[in-house]
Amino acid sequence: MPQQEIILCDETGYPGVFARYAHFFAPGRIIFLRGDLGAGKTTFVRAVCTELAVEDLVSSPSFAILNVYHTPDFRIAHFDLFRLSAAHQLDEIGALDFLDALVFVEWPENCAGFFPDPDLEIAFEFARQDGRRLCLREGK
Ligand SMILES: Nc1ncnc2c1ncn2[C@@H]1O[C@H](COP(=O)(O)OP(=O)(O)OP(=O)(O)O)[C@@H](O)[C@H]1O
Ligand SMILES: [Mg+2]
């Protein structure tokens, strides 16, 4: 599995990451976002949505578990499993019906095995001077 590490001093680097991995940000793809609270996962989804001409407001789905956004051509399903207590909550919202969308999953470890293996996994870590280290791993 190809793996790549990228150091960013701030969030202005996210469009560059999008450009480099552009083919992953497409319908039917699933992307796992790992990393501690505040590591930058939602900010990254917001940046990708901007690049894909999404006009909806992109906010953290940590209470709702799922937010759905629309590009001109397809939808984006943004899951945050941080507050998930049981897999049946995902069944209730029909989570697997969104697999034809571009899917982002924050905190996928909170319901391991529920979603298919990701096409791309990005781990966000805090780095020096408020920056972030991203480790990108291609799957499947
Ligand atoms: N690459 C970056 N460099 C510096 N700051 C960043 C970077 N990415 C995000 N941030 C900042 O980190 C803060 C928290 O980001 P964000 O809400 O995206 O975290 P998160 O990983 O989604 O957290 P949670 O697990 O709580 O949902 C924001 O204030 C954002 O501006
Ligand atoms: Mg978040």
Fold of 3-138: Rossmann fold (3.40.50)
Q: Which residues line ligand 1 (CB under 6 A)?
A: 8, 10-11, 35, 37-43, 60, 62, 80, 82, 106, 124, 130-132
pLDDT in tens, 20-37: 999 999 999 999 999 999
Res. 1 pLDDT band, cuts 50 70 90: low
Q: Whose CA is nearest to atom 26 of ligand 1?
A: 37
Please name the residue whose Cα sits nearest to atom 13 of ligand 1.
38
pTM of the model: 0.97
Q: Considering the chain, what is the average pLDDT of its residues?
A: 96
Task: Compute the average pLDDT of residues 25-54.
Answer: 98
Pocket test for ligand 1, best of 5, 11, 136 (most atoms within 8 A of CB): 11
The percentage of the chain sitting over the pLDDT mark of 90, rounded to a whole number, equals 95
Q: What residue segments make up the domains of the chain, in order of their start?
A: 3-138
Closest atom, ligand 1, to C-alpha of 14: 1
Residues forming beta bridges with residue 123, ordered by sequence position: 34, 135
Mean pLDDT of 74-92: 95
- In this prediction, residue 2 has a pLDDT band, given cuts at 50, 70 and 90, of confident
